[in-house]
Each structure stands twice: as structure tokens, then as C-alpha cells.
Structure 1
Amino acid sequence: MTEQFYDLRRALDELKELPGQYHETDLEVDPNAELSGVYRYIGAGGTVQRPTNEGPAMMFNNVKGYPGSRVLIGLLASRKRVGALLHQDWKTLGRFWSQSVEHPIAPVVVTREQAPAQEVVHLATDEGFDIRKILAAPTNTEQDAGPYITMGVVYGSNPEQTKHDATIHRMVLEDEDTIGVFIQPGGRHIGAFLGEFEELDQPMPVTINIGLDPVIPLGVTFEAPTTPLGYDELGVAGAMRGEAVQLVDGITIPEKGIARAEWIIEAEILPKTYMQEDVNTNTGHAMPEFPGYNGTANPHVNVMKVKAITHRQDNPIVQTTIGPSEEHVSMAGISTEASILNMVDKAIPGNVLNVYNPPAGGGKYMTIMQIKKHVPSDEGIQRQAAILAFGAFKELKTVILVSEDVDIFDWNDVMWSINTRFQGDRDIMVLDQMRNHPLDPSESPAYDPGKIAFQGMSSKTVLDGTIPFALKEHFERAEFMPVSDWQKYLR
């Protein structure tokens, strides 16, 4: 019997067994704005413009202009679906992530014959080569700077090949062999490696890997301090799945790709070379970002030159996402929960029971922390936990603290806590003039000229809705009879 490894196709086979979690259509769809426009209604969720829903992952089998290629969207746009794909309780994914970081399984290298991602090869030197005609990369809106790769995992190394990084960036197809990639300064280890190549005045080889076992895009979203420079996040994905991620040597570059991907793009990032992100549209927009607003086109994104495209023989799948969707919350939010739990468990063990980064914050801006005060001297420890959370993740803007009897995944329960266990004049903490994420439009000097010196500065807010330990008898919830077989009344 042939050994079965995990990849996107195996994950989809499992997903198809779960009612309401997967849908495919043979109706033709235009990848230019229409595909995302359709899915916006069906299952995007998150901070996408309403109306939207939490719905199934969706496969489009008939993509206009790309016969034989399919586009998958929304695979991770449901926390419950993520839990099912990983065979884990969806309410404790943050702890599962944290454990996986502590016990990584390093990737392994296989031969080209063992790598379905290299079954078909297109070389940039081939006559008529044009990535825009090969890869069915959609646009989210009609104002986008161009077709974007939104779920491509970039894999790269330092010049000595001793340190590696896997991460996700927004990447726009600019012409037949050029990709514009936005590498946030100081935000990703790929940027540090690129700096080393630029000191040598050499291009940096990278692969862009598309259509992956879901543990890979989920596992590579960690940032420092949880995963320091040189930590290969593919080891987190390996730990999540319990089997090593398989890599394969590139065909045209000295870098590795993910062997069981649907697509691998082999490319080089040119040293100290930049271009206007929306050079083809001049709309001023890049694509919609996780806060729900259109991202501003960057005037100088890094330039990638494509060397080759490889993919599977049988109807390869392009995986994509809507920028502000629930999918972003799954990728960015759960890893942030894990980073926070990792830090608070070491500093104040036993007091933070669970953490949730809800869709309202796009997975990055907001955290809800479930706190247990064991003894009178624990009073105030909840606010210490909030400070630790800000230290673990600089892009966090708002922390809501609740007691252990509150379901942090139920927004009504959280707001009930704020309305009945909170007084605005004593239970709000504001920490101003701190660094945050530059995509928040309220973080601009025009919004608050007195305190915001430059884009990306923000006030951090803590809403303390925990029960004061000395008054806990005044805040006991009405206790109902426990009934173990209540579901029989619904039959």
C-alpha cells in the first residue's frame, strides 16, 4: 500500500465528510473581483462589508480564462472548521499552537519523483511564458492593484542556508515574470535575510508555495518573540500534523519548495530594487486588508523575478482568501493567542485560563482573556496579564478581561460581563503613544495630532470586566439545574 501523507487534497477529502463545510460549483466565475464578490456573501465572515456569513469552504471548478485550474477560497474561514481539519477542540486551539511551537518536528527533504508539486514545469525562459496566464490569482475588488497571491507561503533562507523562514506576504502579479511583494520593515524574518543578501549585492532565492495542507499556512504565522530569527515555522506545522513537512530542491534556484503543494513558484528577490505596487492600475489601492479597509498601494514594494512555475498534473488548486475575512482571523489570531498564552503561562501560571482573538479585531487588534483569581492577592493580576499580552504582540490594541464563568467565544456573554461587572471610571486602563499596526486608519497624526506623531502609533486599552475577588459573592450567576440528556427533547 502507498503511504498516505497529508496535503491539501487529503484535508479536503476529510472535509467533504463533514456536513455543510464544503461546497463546489461548476458555474463559470471571473477571478477578477467576481469570485471574491460571490464568496463574500457565502462564507467570508470577519470584517468584510456586510452582508456576509460564516459558511462553507468553496471550490470554483470553472475559472474564466484558466481551463483545468481550480480556485479554493475560505478553507480556514471558520474556527470550528479549523479545529475539525486539525482534529482538535476549536476552543483550545491557542494552547495546541503553543505546544506545537515548543515541540516542533523539522521538515524533511524528498526527491523530485516524490514531489507532486513538480509534476509540470514552466520555465521563465519558455516562449510565451506569462505567470498571469498560468496562475489563476484572483483580485478581491475591482480597485485592487492587480491579481494577488494571498495564500502563498514564502520560504527563504539566509545566504549560508543555516537559518530558514516561512511566512505569508501580499504579492501582486505585475507582469509576465514580475511579482511585487510587500515585506513589512522589521515585521518578518524574510526581511532580515533579504538584508543580508543586499549587503552582498545578490538576489535572494525564494519559493512561493500555494495550495497546502492547512497546518502550513496556520503554523507559519508566528512572529518574534515566540519564534525568534532562524526558527523554521514549518516545524510548527509538522508538530500540528504529527508528521514532517516535505521539502524538495528547486529546479532553477538554490532553495527548497514544499513538495506536496499544488503550486511552487521559484523566484529571486532583487537586491535594493523596488516598484510601485499599483503600477498597472494607479488606483492608489493595494487590496482589502484585515481591518476591513482597502490597503494603500505601496510606492516601493520589493521586486521578485520569477524563474519557474511548477504544479500538479491533475487540476491544480489555487488557494486564495479575502483580505478581511474570517480566514485571516484563523491564521493571525490563533497564533497570537498562542503567543500570549506562551508568555503569561511562564510569568503568571494558572491565572489565564484561555485567550481568544475575535473577528472584530481581525485576529490582531483585540484579545479576550479569561482570568481566574485564586486568592485575594491575585487581585490586579488580571491587569498584569493584559500588560504581558501587549508585550507579546505589539499589534494588539484592545484587551478585554473577564472571569472564568464567562464564555470568551460568546460575544453576548463577554459584553454582559462588561455591562454588569465594569465601571468606566475605574475599570478602563489606557496606555497611550505606543506602537501598533499601521493599517488602522485611526492611528494617524490627523486623528490625534497631540499624541500620534506618525502612522502606526496608538493608545492601548484594557477593559477589566473581571469580578473583584472581595465581592465575588455579589456576582454569582443564577444557577440552573444540570440536565445531561437535554438533547432528547429536540428529537
Structure 2
Amino acid sequence: MSKQKYDLRKVIEELKQIPGQYHETDKAIDPEAELSGVYRYIGAGGTVKRPTQEGPAMMFNNVKGFGKSRVLIGMLASRKRVGMILHHDYKTLGNMLNEAVMNPVVPIKVDKNAAPAQEVVHLATDADFDIRKLLAAPTNTAYDAGPYITMGLVRGSSPDQSMHDVTIHRMVLEDKDTIGMYIMPGGRHIGHFLEQYEAINRPMPITINIGMDPAIPLAATFEPPTTPLGYDELSIAGALREEPIELVDGIVVKETGLARSEWIIEAEILPNTKMQEDINTNSGYAMPEFPGYNGKANPAVNVVKIKAVTHRKDNPIVMTTIGPSEEHVSMAGIPTEASILNLVDKAIPGKVKNVYNAPAGGGKLMTIMQIHKDDINDEGIQRQAALLAFSAFKELKTVILVDEDVDIFDMNDVMWTINTRFQADKDIMVLEGLRNHPLDPSELPEYDPARIRTRGMSSKLVLDGTFPYDMKDKFVRAPFKEVSNWKDYLK
């Protein structure tokens, strides 16, 4: 008897067996701002405006206006839950993903009769077709440019079909068959493929896959240099599950979709064509982004024309997220941790024991690095590690360096080391005039006209909280007795 293949529904069934990790409700919910507004209190976390907290993933079974279509939010909005989903210690997920990158399992193609994602077919040429009435895409706030697909995995290929890629973008439903997609300049291979299509003035076929095994969006958020052009990140997800991800040919477009997803939108990105992101609201805002602020609407997003939508016949699930939530920290942060570990271990092997991209940085802006020093000759190697991380990941803004006895997942412990193993006049490094993420509002020229010449420039910060090796006897923590059966006293 073969084991059940991994998809979103299998993961949900596993989480149902773990108290406090999954909750569903039949209470009616409005997808316009209310759904995200409710989950903000229950489990969003991340950089979401307080009050918020870490809580269960949540399924809304009764979404107003959408019949039996359900919405799932917060699946990855807890690092501990990510560990449970991947059956791995949450503190070493970066190491796990690093191993998966180095041991990829390539995807395979299956027939349509083995693809539950294509059980029901809607063609954009149908008289009653309207993506806004079919797909329960929520808005995060009342100011959003429209309903957003926030957990849609875009799959595309080069014109000659020699290279493939998957990425996640913010995508707003503009009208009945049109999506506005923001492709951030530089670094996204989908964007590189699109440039090739635009050079020959041809539309680029894509699929947008919604509702999948959470291992897949985790794998998809790797970036160069870890996954160079031509590396298919679905191979990382295959390695995480020790089984290949299954693909299926599109019904209409010449591109593959994820056979075991809940929904597949088949579409084309129009060449050399742009539109105003908030054309329906003129609010000036797109949706909340990972730093915790409302993202500005882009005046020129790519135009995506829908050709068909397929989905499962049994109450298909729309997987969504709140832009600044802990879910973004997991998707952006854990792959970046893996990439940093991969890079520094090649340059200075054995000196960086672990890495954590904490929620305060939204998974992208801040890294905490746990440093190992063997002797006095390793003094300074910790700062070299920070420079390596900055050189590879331009969106990284702050690095905090700590010793091996500090729990990098406990911000009180991290701040303790800054208070007791740190002197501001000697342990701060500031690097000026570097590139960073343009969504950081402190990186506007008017914030610092002398140093910020254009949006997206930043000073970078290193806080070196490691003690000098030749003074290690001054920094020994109080030696409490190790007691293995301490839990017995709670029974």
C-alpha cells in the first residue's frame, strides 16, 4: 500500500492531531478586510501592529459570497509549526533547507487524471467568468488596491523551455480576467524570462498555483546566489519531502502547474504592457508589506490575462497570508538562513553555528549569527561572517553577533548579550551607502539627504555581542545544575 502523497490536505490532517496548531470556523466572514482583521488578533505575529500573537493556522469555511470555497490563513505563521510541518527541530530548519538545496529531487510530470487541481475547469471565455467571484482572495485592509493573491506560486519558463522557475509575487485582481502583478526589479528569474519574451514581443505563459503543501512556498523563496538562474526551486521542496513534486500540463497555456494544488490559474503576462496597481481604488496603497507598513501602489505593474482556472471539486482552499505576518518571516527568513549558512561555511567553515532571521526584521532585514571561536586567532572572524552575509544578501540591514551560549531564538537572551558583552564605542560597525530593500521607509533621500541618494540605499549595522576570546573567563554564565527529569515535577 503506497503512502499518501504530500499536499495541503495531508498537512492539515497532520496538524489536526497536534493541539493548538489548527482551528476552523463555520462563522460567516467577509473577505474584505474582516478576515485578516480577525486573524490579526489570533495568530498573525511578525511585524503586524500590536496587539497580535502567535496562534493556530485558521480555516474559514464560510466566506461571504463564495459558496463552498474556503480560506486558510497562517499556515506558516509560527516557526515551531513549520518545524512540525517538516517533521524537524524548528531551531535547525536553516540547516535542513541547506541540505535540501544541495540534494535536490527534481519534479515529475503526471497525467491530468492524476491531477486533482484540474478536477473542475473554468474558461475565461465563458460568458459568466469572473475571477473576483470565483476565487475568495481577501484584502488585508480597507485601503488595499483590491483583493490580493498573496500565496500564489507563479511558475514560468524561458521561451525555449530550457529553464523553469517558481516565485511568489503580490497579485491584485483588477477585473474579471485581469491580474496586476508586481515583479520586483532584479533577482527574480521570472522577471528575466519575461524580458526574453518582451524582446520577441510574445506573451509569457504562466500558472499561478494556490493552496499547496507549505514545503513548496518555503522552497520557492530561495534567491541567488544559492539558487542561480536555471535552478528550479521545486527540486528543494522535493528534497524536503523525499518525493518529487508533481506537475501537470496546462489545459490552455503551454506551462505546467502543480498537480496537487487546490487551484491553478492559467494565464499570460502581456509583453511591454503595464497598468496602475490601484486603478480601482486610487487609494495610493497596494497592501501591507513585510516591514509592517502599507505598501505604496505601483503606477506600473505587469498585466496578466487569465485564460482558465481549474480547482479541486471538493471545497477548494484558498491559501492566503497577511503581508507583515510571521508567515512572511518563515517564507523569507528560513531560506535566507539556509543561504547564509551555506555561504559562510564555504568561506569560514565551522565558525557560524546557527543563524536566525528574526520577526523584527520581517525575515529579510535582520540576522542573528551564533559564532564559535576556537582560540585567540579566531578573534575578528565573527565580523568577517557579517560582511559575508551583507555581500550576498542586499536586503539584509542589521546583523547581531552572539556567542554559542546565547539562544538566538530568544530575543531577551540576545539583548542580554548586547547589555553585558557589548560596548557601543567599540562593538558597532556601520557601513554606509549600500543597497537595501526599497520598502523600508527610512531609506528615502529626505530621511538622510547626505547619504541616501536614491530610494533603497541604506547604512548597514553590525552589533558585535561576542566577548573577546582572551577574556572568556570573565563571561561565564552562572553554572546551574543540569537536571534531566525536571518535567517530572510538573506532573
Q: Do they fold alike, i.e. is TM over 0.5?
A: yes
Cα offset for 1:4? 1.5
1:212-251 matches, within 5 Å, as 212-251=212-251
What is aligned with 1:118? Answer: 118
3-state DSSP of counterpart to 1:442: helix
Counterpart CA distance in 1 for 2:83 and 2:228 is: 26
- Equivalent AA in structure 2 for residue 184 of structure 1: M
Cα-to-partner distance string for 1:39-60 (whole Å, 9 max, x where unaligned): 0000000000100010000000
What is aligned with 2:260? Answer: 260
- Equivalent AA in structure 2 for residue 289 of structure 1: E
Counterpart CA distance in 1 for 2:401 and 2:440 is: 22
Cα offset for 1:489? 1.1
CA contact (8 A) 1:208 1:265 kept: yes
What is aligned with 2:141? Answer: 141
Cα offset for 1:488? 1.1
What is aligned with 1:300? Answer: 300
Counterpart CA distance in 2 for 1:278 and 1:55 is: 32
Cα offset for 1:392? 2.2
Cα offset for 1:3? 4.9
What is aligned with 1:71? Answer: 71
Counterpart CA distance in 2 for 1:18 and 1:216 is: 21
CA contact (8 A) 1:397 1:459 kept: yes
CA contact (8 A) 1:428 1:463 kept: yes
1:222-371 matches, within 5 Å, as 222-371=222-371
Counterpart CA distance in 2 for 1:3 and 1:375 is: 50
3-state DSSP of counterpart to 2:272: strand
Structure 2 residue runs of 5 or longer lacking an equivalent are none
1:25-36 matches, within 5 Å, as 25-36=25-36
Counterpart CA distance in 1 for 2:15 and 2:349 is: 36
- Equivalent AA in structure 2 for residue 275 of structure 1: M
1:39-58 matches, within 5 Å, as 39-58=39-58
- Equivalent AA in structure 2 for residue 219 of structure 1: A
Counterpart CA distance in 2 for 1:486 and 1:180 is: 55
What is aligned with 1:5? Answer: 5
Cα-to-partner distance string for 1:389-424 (whole Å, 9 max, x where unaligned): 111211000000000000000000000000000000
Cα-to-partner distance string for 1:195-215 (whole Å, 9 max, x where unaligned): 000011000000000000010
Counterpart CA distance in 1 for 2:230 and 2:224 is: 10
Cα-to-partner distance string for 1:124-143 (whole Å, 9 max, x where unaligned): 01111100000000000000
What is aligned with 1:374? Answer: 374
CA contact (8 A) 1:339 1:393 kept: no
Gap change, CA 1:417 and 1:65, over 3 Å in 2: same
Instruction: Count the aligned residue pairs.
Output: 491
Counterpart CA distance in 2 for 1:488 and 1:192 is: 58
3-state DSSP of counterpart to 2:39: helix
CA contact (8 A) 1:277 1:297 kept: yes
Counterpart CA distance in 1 for 2:49 and 2:196 is: 41
What is aligned with 1:204? Answer: 204
Cα-to-partner distance string for 1:193-240 (whole Å, 9 max, x where unaligned): 000000110000000000000100111000100000010000000001
Counterpart CA distance in 2 for 1:138 and 1:381 is: 47
- Equivalent AA in structure 1 for residue 284 of structure 2: G
What is aligned with 1:474? Answer: 474
Do residues 99 (structure 1) and 99 (structure 2) align? Answer: yes
Counterpart CA distance in 2 for 1:165 and 1:432 is: 34
Counterpart CA distance in 2 for 1:240 and 1:460 is: 33
Counterpart CA distance in 2 for 1:33 and 1:66 is: 15
Counterpart CA distance in 2 for 1:235 and 1:480 is: 45
- Equivalent AA in structure 1 for residue 490 of structure 2: L
Cα offset for 1:375? 1.2
Cα offset for 1:2? 6.0
1:144-155 matches, within 5 Å, as 144-155=144-155
Counterpart CA distance in 1 for 2:363 and 2:18 is: 25
Structure 1 residue runs of 5 or longer lacking an equivalent are none
What is aligned with 1:20? Answer: 20
- Equivalent AA in structure 2 for residue 53 of structure 1: Q
What is aligned with 1:413? Answer: 413
Cα-to-partner distance string for 1:161-214 (whole Å, 9 max, x where unaligned): 010000100000000000000000113100000000001100000000000001
1:416-427 matches, within 5 Å, as 416-427=416-427
3-state DSSP of counterpart to 2:443: coil
Cα-to-partner distance string for 1:231-278 (whole Å, 9 max, x where unaligned): 000000000111100000001000000000000000000000000000
Counterpart CA distance in 1 for 2:54 and 2:2 is: 37
Counterpart CA distance in 2 for 1:482 and 1:117 is: 52
Counterpart CA distance in 2 for 1:130 and 1:490 is: 57
Counterpart CA distance in 2 for 1:362 and 1:3 is: 36
Normalising by structure 1, what TM-score? 1.00
Cα-to-partner distance string for 1:434-463 (whole Å, 9 max, x where unaligned): 000000000010000000000000000000
Counterpart CA distance in 2 for 1:487 and 1:136 is: 45
The share of aligned pairs that are identical, in percent, is 72
- Equivalent AA in structure 2 for residue 239 of structure 1: A
- Equivalent AA in structure 1 for residue 58 of structure 2: M
- Equivalent AA in structure 2 for residue 141 of structure 1: T
Counterpart CA distance in 1 for 2:46 and 2:2 is: 40
Cα-to-partner distance string for 1:10-43 (whole Å, 9 max, x where unaligned): 0000000000000000000000000000000000
Normalising by structure 2, what TM-score? 1.00
1:142-181 matches, within 5 Å, as 142-181=142-181
CA contact (8 A) 1:106 1:235 kept: yes
What is aligned with 1:461? Answer: 461
Counterpart CA distance in 1 for 2:360 and 2:405 is: 22
CA contact (8 A) 1:70 1:317 kept: yes
3-state DSSP of counterpart to 1:253: coil
- Equivalent AA in structure 1 for residue 86 of structure 2: L
Counterpart CA distance in 2 for 1:265 and 1:202 is: 19
- Structure 1 residue ranges (4+ consecutive) displaced by more than 2 angstroms after TM superposition: none
Do residues 183 (structure 1) and 183 (structure 2) align? Answer: yes
